[in-house]
Amino acid sequence: MGRVYNFSAGPATMPLPVLEEIQAELLDYKGSGMSVMEMSHRSKVFQTIADEAEADLRELMNIPDNYKVLFIQGGATLQFSMIPMNLCKNGVFDYIVTGAWSKKAASEAKKFGKVNVVATSEDKNYSYIPDCSDLPIDDDADYVYICENETIHGTTFQTLPNTKGKILVSDQSSMFLSKPCNVSDYGMIYGGVQKNIGPAGISIVIIREDLIREDLKDANTPVYMRYDTHAANGSMYNTPNCWAIYVCGKVFKYLKSIGGLEKMNEINVEKAKVLYDFLDSSKMFNGTVEKEVRSLMNVPFVTASKELDAEVVAATKAAGFDNLKGHKSVGGLRASIYNAMPIEGVKALVEFLKKYEEENA
């Protein structure tokens, strides 16, 4: 069986050239005589891998010198706790809840202080982004939090919220490196890598240096849950996820080779247009998100019934399109068309859905 078009929301499809390069190096990484999975994280060989990965990411995103780049195990969900634990000063956190992941993050933050939901789109099943131009930001808020692209519900911020001078923290898990990003607009950006960059197991945290607190060592904050621990040890306080860092580094180099994030954004816009144009013209399939805030990465859509949704999912899988079933919490269908999904895959899916509609209308 050949490779399928994998529309999974994560772990997700990866660039074929990267996979082929990894395959070639699997048993013997550049004459080291061993796989990256076997080598010590304290070795000069791996230190070079880690250093190059960080340098390439900094170049891709034009990360200012006063921001630290951290590779932290545990995925994005661990950051739901680490953020309030590390950024808490007044014990007040303002959250903008636009989908399942920001809602979960807000729920976790309640364990560490007072959470204000300053805006939400829950009233319409998270199908839109609320107006964030004049929010009731708390004077004591330690930060304002967003999930910039909601993987499950398929919405994305087109304009960043007005935080009225407060620190902006953004979960970019499902849009990381999909387009240019002005890092200076944020106090912290983070994301699990398994959606758009690499294999599951770590998050990348980009955090302004002045937000990294050293006084937490005198508190009851667990040592591994402190950003200063990771910053002071080059993300190697303990054995890191060496394999994931290695693969991420390969993806960074791949993105640089195709023209960087500006070029990647052009490709993503073109891909998404193919699918959204079809959904806008279809009578059987309907998008679930307001047009102005549609995600370029995650495209949820539905038919007239749950039964038909299930039939379509089964038909797509049989035809070589995998993981189109919507998240269990919302149902329907969802096509995650991350960086590594080729436009040919999106066009092929659209042609299949068109044919299905014609034959089953």
Q: Is the pLDDT of residue 240 over 90?
A: yes
Give the pLDDT confidence of 37-63 residue by residue, as tens digits.
Answer: 999 999 999 999 999 999 999 999 999
Query: What token pair was written down for 134?
Result: 């004049």
pLDDT at 15: 97
Give the pLDDT confidence of 181-190 residue by residue, as tens digits.
Answer: 999 999 999 9
Nearest residue to 136 (alpha-carbon basis) of 108, 167, 163, 160: 163
Q: Is the pLDDT of residue 27 over 70?
A: yes
Catalytic residue among 68, 166, 195, 250: 195
Q: Is the pLDDT of residue 216 over 90?
A: no
Span 109-132, mean pLDDT?
A: 97
Q: Is the peptide bond before 11 cis (omega within 30 degrees of 0)?
A: yes
pLDDT at 265: 98
The SS3 call for residue 261 is helix
Query: What token pair was written down for 195?
Result: 């959606």
Using CA atoms, how far apart are residues 360 and 210, in angstroms rounded to an integer? 59
Nearest residue to 316 (alpha-carbon basis) of 329, 328, 303: 303
Percent residues over pLDDT 70 in the chain: 100
Q: Is the pLDDT of residue 218 over 80?
A: no
Using CA atoms, how far apart are residues 43 and 299, in angstroms rounded to an integer? 42
Using CA atoms, how far apart are residues 59 and 215, in angstroms rounded to an integer? 31
Name the band, by pLDDT with cuts 50, 70 and 90, for residue 220. confident
Q: Is the pLDDT of residue 132 over 70?
A: yes
Q: Is the pLDDT of residue 217 over 80?
A: no
Domain 17-257 has CATH 3.40.630.150: no
pLDDT at 328: 86
Span 183-206, mean pLDDT?
A: 97
Domain 260-360 has CATH 3.90.1150.10: yes
Using CA atoms, how far apart are residues 156 and 96, in angstroms rounded to an integer? 12
Q: Is the pLDDT of residue 88 over 90?
A: yes
Catalytic residue among 101, 250, 271, 325: 101
Using CA atoms, how far apart are residues 113 and 118, in angstroms rounded to an integer? 15
Catalytic residue among 94, 142, 171, 309: 171
Nearest residue to 69 (alpha-carbon basis) of 199, 223, 183: 183
User: Which long-range contacts link 321-326 to residues 24+ away (Cβ below 8 Å)?
Assistant: 321/4, 321/5, 321/7, 321/345, 321/348, 321/349, 321/352, 322/4, 322/5, 322/6, 322/7, 322/8, 323/6, 323/7, 323/8, 323/9, 324/7, 324/349, 326/300, 326/302
Q: Is the pLDDT of residue 1 over 60?
A: no
pLDDT at 192: 97
Map out the domains of the chain as residue ranges.
Answer: 17-257, 260-360
Nearest residue to 139 (alpha-carbon basis) of 79, 86, 186, 90: 90
Specify whether 131 is catalytic.
Answer: no
Q: Is the pLDDT of residue 361 over 80?
A: no
Specify whether 101 is catalytic.
Answer: yes
Give the pLDDT confidence of 266-304 residue by residue, as tens digits.
Answer: 999 999 999 999 999 999 999 999 999 999 999 999 999
Specify whether 171 is catalytic.
Answer: yes
Across-strand partners of 73? 202
Q: What are the angstrom distances between the C-alpha of 204 and each of 59, 114, 135, 172?
A: 15, 26, 28, 10
